[in-house]
Each structure stands twice: as structure tokens, then as C-alpha cells.
Amino acid sequence: MRITVIGAAKSGLAAAELAHRQGHDVFVTEAKSADHAADAAALLTSHGIAAEFGGHTQRALEADMIIVSPGVPPSHTLRMQASQNGVEVIGELEYASRFLTNPIVAITGTNGKTTTTALTAKVLSDGGKPAVAAGNIGTPLSSLVDVIDPSTIIVAECSSYQLDTTTTFRPHVSMILNITPDHLTYHGTFQQYVDAKWKIVANQQANDVVILNADDAHVANAASVARGMVRYFSLRQEVEGAFVRGDEIILRDQQHNEEILMALRRLGLPGAHNSANSMAATLAARAFEVRNENIRDSLMSFNGVEHRLEAVRTHRGIRYINDSKATNVNAAWFALSSFDHPIVWIAGGRGDNNNYTELDELVAANVKAVVCVGEDADAIFNHWCLSKRCVKAASLEEAVRAAADLAVADDVVLFSPACKSFDMFANYEERGRAFKQFVTAL
């Protein structure tokens, strides 16, 4: 087959290498110039894969299949022309899944995907079920084809971009954590975003498992299109699956038999959202018959992932927390609700029509001062300057120093931007590493 890959970032390169290994005629097209994608150009050259940089030519459409990288929207010219020409357009996740026989746990949601993916892989591995975290968390599934043992469970973080371009993708266990408005520039409408998330259950069958958040109507309603066995998790109601009663996580099976899993206070990660994530991971592990005592030990010892409520250091009695992965208001909401000490909050970056009123109640109760940075600094400052001490910073380094001056012993300096990173950094990882560097230098 002639296969064109649009985009020469990590997943695009992995898809191109896989297609090349399969013996296909592969062509990669990348909008960035070769100078700005030098590593990708060198890699493709070393594999003998043809490529173009700095734009897209007609050759890109001379294909029997087009594989799009995440974030290449349906409105992209090549995607639209390919569809008009009757060419199959899929994503890297879909392409890789066609060559994998491994059991897959697929996890999606607006927030919490990365943490829950890492946690689920840990619980499975600790419980004697070999598992690897992959997908949007870092390792493209294409890189695993013909590399890992077929019995290894793949725990795949799946973004809405990736799911939007699936057609046959069928995980054994699917999981939807939450759905709040995000990525609407790509999807067009909130309903189209919801529909993309729901595609995670579309091809599952009766012997597969669907794990849904009963507290989120947009998630819970996915049960209406699910053919697999539905299990719920909830912080607010007693459900078939996992729920909270008092200070304990309770497991309830289809016969309404109940078991106490553990006390919430023994979880390794703070915050109500992490209690929900822990219950979701538990249900995935139970689908593979991991014993409760093994699950309990894993949940107690898990310390989280980089850039997500990551403890950086304690300096002069002040705790510094890196939550750079909070790229939207909803993620920041979870972070602001996770601490029982006064918060000096560093926020800002590139907003996405952010509605900051959603945070008013939490800011009023938990935040003592706000340090505003990035493109949305004025919007954040103007929103809270009459009710909270607010300062503006010209850079993230300046923001860290300002927060250190505002905080006292027993306070928390929380970097949870509620905004995208692209005004000042290449991605949230680079932004988080910079924050940690500046904190370490205090």
C-alpha cells in the first residue's frame, strides 16, 4: 500500500516506522521546516522513508491510506481532500491496534488520564499481570508492535484526537473518567467532543468491560451505546462497581455483594479526583482478577506522575507543587481542591476562552494570593484582584520568586496554570521542568 503520514512528531514517526516495517510505501509530510524538525528528518532518512518538510505537496494525496497525527483537525486541507477522494483516513492509535493482539485497557477523559494510566499499569504489574503504560502518556502503540510479549497488558492513554480517528479499535477494558469542554477548536462543538470520547466503547463486545464515572452525566450516558459489561465508580452514590461510603472505598459486584477495599486516607495521592481515579484503576485491575490486597498495596504506594500535583520540594516550610499538566480550568479546579493549607496559586498561559468563574468558590476558600503570568495574566488578574492579593509576573521565573515572597511556612505554592503552555513553552512538560528548575534555585 501507499501510506502517507501527516505529521512527523512522536506518534507520526512511530506510525511511519511501523508501516515501513510492514513493507508499505511510506511518505511523511510535515508542515514544519526541516530545520525545525531536524531529528525527525534524520530518523526518517536513516530508515529510508521518503518525507517532505515545510508544507504539503500533491504527493501527500497519492495514497491508499492516510495516517494523521493527533491534533491534525478534520478541517485540515489534506484530510478533507483525502476524504473527498475516498481515501481511508485513520490515526496512529487505530493503525497500531490492527497489529496488536495484546489485551488493551484504554483510558480517556478530559482530566486525570495520565495519572490513571500510570496507576492502572502499576496496579496490574504489582498484582502479577505484566503491563505497560503507553499511548498519549508517552510511548505510541505503534512502537510496541512485534516488540512486547502478546500477553502483556497495554494500558493506553487515549486523547479525544486519537479516538476521533478510530474505526475498529477495540480495547478489552475501556474507561471514561470525566468529560468537560476542551479542545473545541479541533472538534467544533462540545457534542462532537463527547462523541469522540464515546468512540472508546464503540467496538467493544459483551465480554469486554466498560468503566464509567457515575457522577458525570456526559460519561454515564455512554452506557447507552456500550455493549460491554458496564461498571461504575462514584464519589457521591452507591453503584455497581466502586464507591465511597463514609471514609472507605467499597466494591460491589453484580450480585450486590460488598467488600471494603480500603480507607480513603490511606491512598497515596491526595484529592477527591484521585480517589475517583483510584477507584477506576481498581475496577480495571479487578477485570483481570488482581486480588484486593495487591490493589490496596499499589494504591497506597503510588506517588503520582511528573507534572501532575508533583511535589517538587519544601523550602522554608513552604511546599512547592508542579501541576503544569493542568492545561484547562477543570484541571486547575481539581488541584485547588486538593490541599488543606493556604495556597499561593501561580496561574496563566494561553487561555482557551477560559471561564474563571468556575473557580471562584475554591479560590475564595483556599487561595491567599494569585500570581498571574502569560497571555492570560490580565484576565486572571482582573477577575480576582478585588477579592484576593494578585500580582503579575513577566516570566515564570519571576512568578516563582513572587510566590515565594507571598508564601509563609505551612503554605502551598501551587503551579496549576489552567491554561495551555504554548505562549511561552513548547509543551506542558517543558513548562513543568522550567518551574521545577526555578523552584530548585530558590
Q: What is the pLDDT of residue 304?
A: 79
Q: What is the pLDDT of residue 186?
A: 75
Q: What is the pLDDT of residue 429?
A: 93
Burial annotation 320-355 (CB, 10 A radius, 16+ → b, else e): bbbbbbbbbbbbbbbbbbbbeeebbbbbbbbbbebe
- Cα angle value 85/86/91 (rounded, 5°): 110
pLDDT tens-digit readout, 28-57: 999 999 998 999 999 999 999 999 999 999
**Is the Cβ–Cβ distance between 146 and 125 less than 8 Å?**
no
pLDDT tens-digit readout, 135-176: 987 899 999 999 999 999 999 999 999 999 999 999 999 999
pLDDT tens-digit readout, 276-299: 999 999 999 999 999 999 999 999
**Is the Cβ–Cβ distance between 330 and 182 less than 8 Å?**
yes
Domains delineated in the chain: 2-91 (3.40.50.720), 100-301 (3.40.1190.10), 310-440 (3.90.190.20)
**pLDDT confidence band for 75 (50 / 70 / 90):** confident
Q: What is the pLDDT of residue 285?
A: 98
Give the residue-averaged pLDDT of 305-333: 92
Look up residue 104 and give its DSSP letter. E
pLDDT at 225 over 90: yes
Q: What is the pLDDT of residue 33?
A: 93
Give the residue-averaged pLDDT of 337-364: 94
Of the chain, the percentage scoring pLDDT greater than 70 comes to: 99
Q: What is the mean pLDDT of the chain?
A: 94
**Strand, helix or coil for residue 334:** helix
**Is the Cβ–Cβ distance between 363 and 383 less than 8 Å?**
no
Write down the pTM of the prediction.
0.80
Segment among 69-83, 104-118, 394-408 with least mean pLDDT: 69-83
pLDDT tens-digit readout, 4-20: 999 999 999 999 999 99
Residue of 181, 217, 186 whose CA lies nearest to 328: 181
| Contacts with 117 (C-beta within 8 Å, 6 or more apart), sequence order | 107, 133, 135, 137, 155, 156, 157
Beta bridge partners of 392: 372
Task: Fill in the amino acid letter for 408.
Answer: V
Look up residue 22 and give its DSSP letter. T
Q: What is the pLDDT of residue 184?
A: 65
